[in-house]
Structures are given as C-alpha cells and as structure tokens.
Amino acid sequence: MAAEPTPAKKTGVDPSPPAPGSTPIPTASPNAFASPVFRPGLEGVPATHSSICDIDGLRGLLTYRGYPLEQLANQSSFLETTYLLIWGELPTIFQLRDFEQEVQMHRRVSFRIRDMMKCFPASGHPMDALQASAASLGLFYSRRALNDPQYVTEAVVRLIAKIPTMVAAFQLIRKGQDPIQPRDDLSYAANFLYMLTEREPDPLAARILDACLILHAEHSLNASTFSARVTASTLTDPYAVVASAVGTLAGPLHGGANEDVLDMLDQIGSEDQVEPWLDRAIASKQKIMGFGHREYKVKDPRAVILQRLAEDLFNRFGHDQMYDVARRLEAVAVDRLGPKGIYPNVDFYSGLVYRKLGIPRDLFTPIFAIARVAGWLAHWREQLGANRIYRPSQIYTGSSPRDWQPLEARAPIGAGAA
C-alpha cells in the first residue's frame, strides 16, 4: 500500500526534490502558495488525499478500497463493486439487493432525452452523444442539495442506471431505429447487451462484460477522474461532473485508446507484419496505442485479466486472428520498449473482448465510461467530504507589462504579418 503522501504545506514548500526536467522557479510571491516546482502533466504531484483506489505501478498491483482487483473481477459484480467504491464497504445482502433494485427501477430515460438524441447527427461519435445526454440529466434533476444524503444517493443511482441506457439508445437511434427499453429482469451487463441487440445475451458474454466493467470502474487520479474532482470542487451538480469526465475520457491518450488499438491491429494485418510495422512506428516516434502508462512500469494488471477474459471468449465463441497479431505485437514491443517501462495497458486487449461480444468499435470508449461512472461518483462524494476548490498556480511566460498602441502606430511584426 503506497505511503500516505505528505500533504504540501500551506507554505507551498514542496518536500520532494525537483523532478529531472522540471523548472524550479524563484520563491513564489509572499501572498501566493505556489509550489516552487512545476511538473508537466502534474506527474507525481499529489492533488488530493483519497482512500478509494491504490496503484502499485512497479509491482502491477491495484486495489479498490483495499480489495485486490483480481478478487473483485473473479468474485464480485459490477454493482457490488460500484457500491464498494462509492460507499467504501462491501454491501450486505440487503444493501446490495436494495441498490440493485433501485438501479433497475431507474434505468429508463425520459422521452425528451431520447428525442434530443434523434436530433444528433448519426455520424456523431457516441462519446459526444453521451457527454451531451449526461449533461442534459442536470436539466431534469436541477435541484442541487449536495449536503442531503438522499439527493446524493438518488444522483448516484440515476447516473449508474441511466448511462448504459443512453449509450444503447444512441446506438439504435443512429441506425434509424427506436431505442429498446431496458428489462428489469436482466442483470446490469446483460441488460446493456440486450438494449443493443434486443436479444438476451449468452450468460458467459454477460459475465465477461460485467468483469470488464469492474476492471474499468476506477483508477485513482487519472485524467477524467481529476477532471471530475475539479468540476466537483466548484459544487456544481453531479451530472455536470460526469459530463465533464466523459469529455476528458474521450481523448485518444486516455479512454479513446481502446478503439485505436483495433485500428492499429487492422493496419498491421498479420503476425508477419508486426516487426516491420513496429520498426516504422518506433522510428517515427509513433505512440503504440494500448501501451505505456503514467503509473505502471510493468504490464497493467487489468490487461492481464482482460487477456484471460478474451481467451475465455475465444474458447467459447471462436478464435480471433487479431488476437494472435496482438500477442505478437506485445512480445516484440515489450522486447523493445519494456526497458523503458512501456508495457500493455488496460486498453490493449479490451477492444478484442468487446469485438468478440459483437459491440461496435466506437462504443468501446462509451463502455469504458459506463464503468468509470462508478469511480467518478466515488471521487465526487470524496471531494465533497473535504472540499476546497481546485485553483493551482502557473509559471507566467508571457510579455512583461506594455501599453496599448493605436492601429496606425502598430509596426507589422515581420514581413507579411497576418
């Protein structure tokens, strides 16, 4: 378990030495609490205390509220894990049953939101549709009572329940079909697959998707969760918090990579093309999608579990030749990039699982979002418990003070200035 980060004191004195490549700055002005060290991307800079998730990036270990991820992926359910993340303890049998029933009762989405989606361009990316529809929930539940536990519980249930319905609804609408209403008698993952196809999924497929949701539910202060906490710190509503996080997750360096991994494997085409492709990619300093991580310097433990889930699916529903290409790419890329601490991350194998489940490629990141709503809401609650609005400092690199000049007095800056 990582040691408790020493909180940076109000004096802004950063206890750790400047990281290589950082830019130490002169002591901040007396009335500021700016840290004397700037770290690009806030790498290694604690931005909060949290008791939700712990990552050991050197040993490839991940725990949710102290429970090893492998145990949760093998023995828990996504809703039980969601309860654990958000309320801090595993639910009793009664607490879990009540939570599951509440979520089942709130899966439906207003026709107004479905009608709004019918105005979205069918060519739009499902993550943009999800961000818009998640934000629109705030129009229906606009009362902000963040200090009312009932309001907080209702918001958690609504978001966990409705996000999958909205992802599935846009999928049907963009095909010109009416959305499929959720079924209360199906489990969380089974119902999502049902709303995509109107067919009850194979129990193994539903079980594997549920495990994928557990694996993607939380990951400490990643970019989208940090975005959620910054948004939450202004005391806006939880729907805006989730919409802000969805927008952040959509980027290809973050949650969008799972979709790009399959595009990359398609581009490679076959095992014998892996090495020449990798040579060209490394020579052109191209990022290998699904590889590398800010925290992990070994193979992402989630990739290890996802690989096993993929093999379970292939054993049951037939092999995917792209898996052989992926495994060959992993072997060759680890040989070349492993010494730099660059290994497969969570996105490397997840797309192969979703493709075998028959999920369209541009829904891979929305599925990541469905799962990560649990983590974002856990951090939302935690932020509210000890809130201080995020407002970091900066290192100013602009012009020194200067006077405004009238148009006629402005000499062009260089020939042909625009």
For ligand SDX, the closer of residues 288 and 305 by Cβ is 288
The strand pair at 53-56 and 67-68 is best described as unpaired
* Nearest residue to the partner ligand SDX, using Cβ: 292
Question: Site for ligand SDX (CB under 6 A): which residue of 161, 289, 309, 374?
Answer: 289
Return the structure tokens found at 89: 């303890």
Check residue 336 for interaction with ligand SDX (CB under 6 A).
Answer: no
340 scored as a contact of ligand SDX (CB under 6 A):
yes
CA distance 53 to 75: 18
Residue number with CB closer to ligand SDX (22 or 95): 22
Pick 134 or 172: Cβ nearer ligand SDX: 134
Find the binder of ligand SDX among 58, 122, 139, 253 (CB under 6 A): 253
DSSP string for residues in 263-309: HHHHHH-SGGGHHHHHHHHHHTT---TTB--SS-SS--HHHHHHHHH
Give the three-state DSSP class for 23.
Answer: strand
How many CB atoms are located within 10 Å of the residue 189 CB?
26
Contact call for residue 288 and ligand SDX (CB under 6 A): yes
According to the binding rule CB under 6 A, does residue 327 interact with ligand SDX? no
- Residue 281 CB, nearest approach to ligand SDX (Å): 8
Residue 342 binds ligand SDX (CB under 6 A): yes
Q: What is the residue type of 349?
A: Y
Stretch that binds ligand SDX, among 111-119, 172-180, 286-294, 323-331 (CB under 6 A): 286-294
Tell me if 347 contacts ligand SDX by CB under 6 A.
Answer: yes
* Dihedral sign for Cα atoms in the order 230, 233, 235, 237: positive
Q: Does residue 61 sit in helix, strand or coil?
A: strand
Angle between helices 203-215 and 78-87 (to 10 degrees): 20
Cβ distance 277 to 267 under 8 Å? Answer: yes
For the bound state, the minimum distance from the C-beta of residue 355 to ligand SDX, rounded and expressed in Å, comes to 17
The residue within the footprint of ligand SDX, chosen from 144, 294, 308, 327 (CB under 6 A), is 294
Q: Nearer Cβ to ligand SDX, position 85 or 152?
A: 85
92, 328 Cβ separation under 8 angstroms = no
Q: Is 37 helix (H, G, I), strand (E, B) or coil?
A: strand
Residue 60 binds ligand SDX (CB under 6 A): no
**Of 257, 274, 298, 377, which lies in the binding site for ligand SDX, with binding defined by CB under 6 A?**
257
Choose the stretch contacting ligand SDX; rule: CB under 6 A; options: 153-161, 201-209, 249-257, 376-384.
249-257
- Answer for which of 132, 264, 346, 357 binds ligand SDX (CB under 6 A) is 346
Dihedral pair phi/psi, residue 168, rounded to 5°: -70, -35
Is residue 41 within the footprint of ligand SDX (CB under 6 A)?
yes
Size of the site for ligand SDX (CB under 6 A): 22
The single residue among 38, 291, 354, 380 that binds ligand SDX, judged by CB under 6 A, is 291
Rule CB under 6 A: say whether 222 interacts with ligand SDX.
Answer: yes
The residues annotated with a catalytic role in the active site are: 293, 347
- Comparing C-alpha atoms, which of 156, 2, 161, 163 is closest to residue 84? 156
Burial code (b: 16+ CB inside 10 Å, e: under 16) for 327-366 equals: ebbbebbbeebeeeebbbbbbbbbbbbbbbbebebebbbb
Q: What is the dihedral angle through the alpha carbons of 169, 174, 176, 182, rounded to the nearest 10 degrees?
A: -10
We find the least distance from the C-beta atom of residue 91 to ligand SDX, in angstroms, to be 24
Whole-number Cα distances in Å, 54 to 2, 62, 63, 89, 359: 7, 6, 5, 15, 30
Q: 């009335």: which residue's tokens? A: 31
Q: Which stretch binds ligand SDX (CB under 6 A): 121-129, 159-167, 193-201, 337-345?
A: 337-345
Q: Using CB under 6 A, which residues numbered 88 to 127 contact ligand SDX?
A: none
Positions touching ligand SDX (CB under 6 A) are 41, 219, 222, 253-255, 257, 287-295, 337, 340, 342, 345-347
